Structure 1
Amino acid sequence: MAMAVELTTLELSSKTGRGEACQRWEAEMVQTYVPLAVDIDPELPFFGRVVTGSLADTADFRMTALEGRNQEFRRSKSHIARSDEQYLLASIQTKGRARLNQDGRSALILPGEMTFFDTSRPYRWSEGASFEQVVVQVPIRLLREQPGLGQGEFPTAITIPAASAAGVVAGFFRNLARIRAVSPDQAEVLSAGALDLFGSAVSLAAGDRPIDVPADAFNREHVLAFLRDHYTDPDLTVDEVAHACYISRRSLFRIFDGTSESLNTTLRRMRVRHAKILLARDRSRLPAAVAFDSGFASERNFYRVFHEETGMTPGEYRQAHLG
């Protein structure tokens, strides 16, 4: 298993948008991304929080969870002139709204939606009063090495809906950020194919078909996104998963070949993870109810699988984790 990367976290706030906290925040944004300016309303309360770290053992390929209030970001030609490296960034909105202006286009981004922006050209982010984003940052030189991305302009300042094909990749990174917050080692394993998925999303957003994405990475993430939404259904079948993801049953099993977990193991662990949450949260909920609410077809199957995954019975786990 890969070693979890070290995450850097900073949280700052002040009663007004003046003073040392705001200056420190702008310096942190420059350090995290690229030279830019942060415009903070001097009369309103200020808040900023950032959690950042590299992905897939690649120092310049990074993912950031960003929160803030009452601020805007802009990058000018003078900022660009001070940059040694240029990046393509994907911003995935998780709360609030934001508007990106770049290349003569303006994109309003709502929760679940994504957009791309290129640091080699000026841009401006107009954030709402309160916002949360997951931002994925890839050096352009790395992207140019991806199949099909060697030339041409990137699809900047366009709104990518959550329900679109490229939106599936946005969902992957949104969930990866959530997992990384509680289990960095597991997130590091999941990020192994993240660069290929990012390149696939760029191609899809540009209107091109992804070329030679290794190991069916895009289709696999589509399946994982469907499982995350439906794993609590005890009647879920392999045929239903394949049909919903527009692939054959054979292809469904093939895209998990060579990975650390089979399709069945992935589904089982999602259900066990959900059962853990229910057991620790509510002492009065009967194990049978936990089983069915987590997607297990029977209480007996629940006990067997839970013990195999955790080394404990549901009752032992509950006793160990109740506050």
Structure 2
Amino acid sequence: MPVVSDRIESAEDPAELWRVTLSDEFGGLLPAPAPDEALTGRIRGISLGEVEAFSISGTPQSMRRTSRAARRQPAEALKVCMMTRGRAVLVQGERDVVVERGQLVVYDVERPYELHFDSPWACAVMTFPRAALGLSPDDVTRTMQRPYEVRSGPGALLRGFVSSAVDEAAALADSTTALLGDAGLDLARAVLTPRGGRTTSSTIRERALRHVRLHIADPDLSVVSIAAALHMSPRTLQRQFEESGDTVRAVIRGVRLRGARRDLGDPRLADRTIAAVAARWGFTDAPAFTRAFRSEYGVSPSQARAGVTQVVA
């Protein structure tokens, strides 16, 4: 992901460039100024494997991801927003969560939401696939019901990680970014895991997900190979994922397709062939990769590289 920063502040129309930038980076998220306030902001970001990290700030404003935007640009992802200046009110479904400076809130990018900032604000944001967190659906739902502290403990480490990753983006080698993303996910789990401790199922899913991410380029990655690495039967491993409404095969496929989609959209990787991108994520059969990609995203890999997106009515 390219870093986006001061070009907004130097533009002839900062408000319009802020609208375009925010919408492009966050799947159709649209800002509107508070009464009698200028509309502008600043955003910097970096991709870390399955994780995306951002530092964002702006003038008083509201942001809205509509139902239409959610349909047009679906994303099975969670977002963690950590307030480092000001306060925010998150509105999603029937819940309103007030997030003060030094707190974080979790929300579901797949569903419409609103964020309201009533004063100048800044936040550190991390986005990642829902499945990558390794928590059960009930635990994920519980994480979204209240704010969490980030002034000390694991929350402070997570906040520092996101801010440092963005600040050091230019110095990070491509070969290390996925490993750093894994570290960010571990910190997020440390903050969000229920206080009663992780369930056995959640722990097994977490270990399996870590193995998948480390060996995703291996075309022989499967339920059998993962179960062997974790010293359990394939049936036992599959059962842990079935409890969360998923399968190991679907998880592997999702990690691979999301990774390939990110690489195809990364201008730094424009010189890599589509076959090379596919192979990097464990796809050795080009036609099978194209079919799987089109089935998931509604466009071919070459169309995705060209910036074509699926239009959903």
Aligned with 1:43: secondary structure?
coil
Deviates more, 1:33-42 or 1:66-75: 33-42
**Aligned counterpart for 1:149 among listed residues 105, 124, 136:** 136
Letter matched to residue 199 of structure 1: R
The number of residue pairs the alignment matches comes to: 200
Q: Which residue number corresponds to residue 107 of structure 2?
A: 117
**Aligned counterpart for 2:40 among listed residues 23, 43, 47:** 47
Q: Which residue number corresponds to residue 9 of structure 1?
A: 5
In 1, distance between residues paired with 2:180 and 2:32? 35
Deviates more, 1:96-105 or 1:19-28: 19-28
Q: Which residue number corresponds to residue 180 of structure 1?
A: 168
**Aligned counterpart for 1:35 among listed residues 28, 31, 36:** 28
The Cα offsets for residues 275-303 of structure 1, whole Å up to 9 and x where unpaired, read as xxxxxxxxxxxxxxxxxxxxxxxxxxxxx
Q: Which has the larger radius of gyration?
A: 1
Aligned with 1:29: secondary structure?
helix
In 2, distance between residues paired with 1:88 and 1:21? 28
Letter matched to residue 24 of structure 2: Q
Say if 1:107 and 1:173 are closer, same or farther in 2 by CA, change over 3 A. farther
In 2, distance between residues paired with 1:75 and 1:86? 14
Say if 1:169 and 1:149 are closer, same or farther in 2 by CA, change over 3 A. farther
Q: Which residue number corresponds to residue 26 of structure 1?
A: 19
Letter matched to residue 47 of structure 2: S
Letter matched to residue 92 of structure 1: M
Question: How far off its partner does 1:122 sit?
Answer: 2.0
- 1:1-323 aligned within 5 A: 7-13=3-9, 20-41=13-34, 43-55=36-48, 58=49, 60-143=50-133, 146=134, 148-149=135-136, 153-154=140-141, 155-162=143-150, 167-177=155-165, 179-180=167-168, 184=172, 188=177, 191-204=181-194, 207=195, 209-210=197-198, 211-212=202-203
Q: Confirm or deny: 8 A CA contact 1:13 1:45 kept in the other structure.
A: no
Give % identity.
19
Say if 1:22 and 1:133 are closer, same or farther in 2 by CA, change over 3 A. same
In 2, distance between residues paired with 1:10 and 1:87? 27
The TM-score with structure 1 as length reference comes to 0.52
Question: How far off its partner does 1:40 sit?
Answer: 1.7
Say if 1:209 and 1:69 are closer, same or farther in 2 by CA, change over 3 A. same
Whose relative contact order is higher, 1 or 2, with alpha carbons under 8 Å and at least 6 apart?
Answer: 2
The Cα offsets for residues 137-194 of structure 1, whole Å up to 9 and x where unpaired, read as 1122433xx2x33666432252112357652453343553475278546995755522
Say if 1:79 and 1:90 are closer, same or farther in 2 by CA, change over 3 A. same
Q: Confirm or deny: 8 A CA contact 1:103 1:156 kept in the other structure.
A: no
Root-mean-square deviation (CA, aligned residues, Å) is 3.3
Aligned with 2:70: secondary structure?
helix
Aligned with 2:64: secondary structure?
strand
Aligned with 1:89: secondary structure?
strand
Q: Confirm or deny: 8 A CA contact 2:32 2:39 kept in the other structure.
A: no
In 1, distance between residues paired with 2:41 and 2:7? 6
In 1, distance between residues paired with 2:103 and 2:127? 17
In 2, distance between residues paired with 1:27 and 1:157? 30
Say if 1:120 and 1:181 are closer, same or farther in 2 by CA, change over 3 A. closer
Unaligned runs of 5+ in 1: 218-323
Q: Which residue number corresponds to residue 291 of structure 2?
A: none
Q: Confirm or deny: 8 A CA contact 1:99 1:127 kept in the other structure.
A: yes
In 2, distance between residues paired with 1:14 and 1:183? 25
In 2, distance between residues paired with 1:209 and 1:27? 42
In 2, distance between residues paired with 1:171 and 1:195? 12
Say if 1:53 and 1:181 are closer, same or farther in 2 by CA, change over 3 A. closer
Aligned with 1:142: secondary structure?
helix
Q: Which residue number corresponds to residue 283 of structure 1?
A: none
The Cα offsets for residues 231-283 of structure 1, whole Å up to 9 and x where unpaired, read as xxxxxxxxxxxxxxxxxxxxxxxxxxxxxxxxxxxxxxxxxxxxxxxxxxxxx
Q: Confirm or deny: 8 A CA contact 2:44 2:166 kept in the other structure.
A: no
Letter matched to residue 209 of structure 1: G
In 2, distance between residues paired with 1:93 and 1:114? 6
Say if 1:85 and 1:174 are closer, same or farther in 2 by CA, change over 3 A. closer
Say if 1:172 and 1:139 are closer, same or farther in 2 by CA, change over 3 A. same
Say if 1:9 and 1:175 are closer, same or farther in 2 by CA, change over 3 A. closer
The TM-score with structure 2 as length reference comes to 0.54
Say if 1:71 and 1:24 are closer, same or farther in 2 by CA, change over 3 A. same
